[in-house]
Amino acid sequence: MAKKISKNARAGSRAANSGGKNFVKVIKSVKNPETGKYTYKQIMIHKDEVKTFFADKK
């Protein structure tokens, strides 16, 4: 007979291997200097790079 593993234990090991929780979606508004209209730049980046993304003036 196979050893039973709880559903939570399987989900925990799967999450540890994927690394998907380390990425976040960030949205930044960027103003066009010619027209004055705003556009939105949105990307998925690693959570350690969030401050550098918002510090960048592009």
What is the tens place of the pLDDT at every residue in 17-30?
A: 667 789 999 999 99
Q: Chain-wide mean pLDDT for the chain?
A: 83
Residue 16 lies in a domain: yes
- Check pLDDT > 80 for residue 16: no
Residue 48 lies in a domain: yes
DSSP annotation of 44: E
Spatial CA neighbour of 44 closest among 23, 16, 29? 23
DSSP annotation of 34: T
Whole-number Cα distances in Å, 3 to 6, 41, 43: 10, 49, 42
Q: Evaluate if pTM is beyond 0.75.
A: no
Give the domain range for residue 45.
7-55
Cα separation of 5 and 40, whole Å? 45
Residue 1 lies in a domain: no
Q: Structural domain tally of the chain? A: 1
Residue 2 lies in a domain: no
